[in-house]
Amino acid sequence: MKCLSLLFFVTTFLAGCSSADAEFGRMSEQEAYELIKSGSDVIVLDVRSEDEFLTGHIAGSILLPVDEIEQRAIDVLADKDATILVICRAGNRSLTASQLLVDLGFRNVYEIGGIMSWPGEIVE
């Protein structure tokens, strides 16, 4: 029942963001953690600096500093329909980065806050 509940949440949540809305979604760190744990096909995009990333990040996440998004997002994130979870240190840069991605035409972008509140494992 718990898996069915999570599947319903994910389906409902992910369906809520369309290109016509030109907005990004929001998801708590805990919700994002559960989504990743469930094996869903998502991209975790860390928008901190390289130095910050090297001190600890979510396993499998992609580093793309917020100040490089406009120049490099299309190359780094080729699929504009992919589900992208955006994280930074405390949640400020992830808001900016999420809006930039939507402005570039990415359709399934979710701001998930900051690594400081991440409930899962952090790797170096």
pLDDT of residue 1: 46
What are the distances in angstroms from CA 47 to CA 8, 9, 66, 103, 123?
29, 26, 5, 16, 16
In this prediction, residue 22 carries a pLDDT of 74
- Give the span between the Cα atoms of 22 and 120, in whole angstroms: 30
Per-residue pLDDT, averaged over 101-112, amounts to 97
- Cα(63)–Cα(68) distance, integer angstroms: 10
**What percent of the chain lies above the pLDDT cut of 70?**
83
For 61-99, the pLDDT digits (tens) are: 999 999 999 999 999 998 999 999 999 999 899 999 999
Pick the CATH number of 2-117 from 1.10.443.10, 3.40.250.10, 3.30.9.10, 3.30.390.50: 3.40.250.10
Q: What is the mean pLDDT of residues 33-43?
A: 96
Dist. CA 81–CA 109, nearest whole Å: 9
Instruction: Tell me the per-residue pLDDT of 14-35, one tens digit each, with 9 for 90 and over.
Output: 444 444 457 999 999 999 999 9
Q: Quick check: 85 and 42 in contact, CB under 8 A?
A: yes
Give how far Cα 37 sits from Cα of 16, 23, 33, 59, Å. Answer: 21, 25, 6, 12
**How far is it, in rounded angstroms, from Cα 49 to Cα 63?**
8
**Cross-strand bridge partners of residue 109:** 84
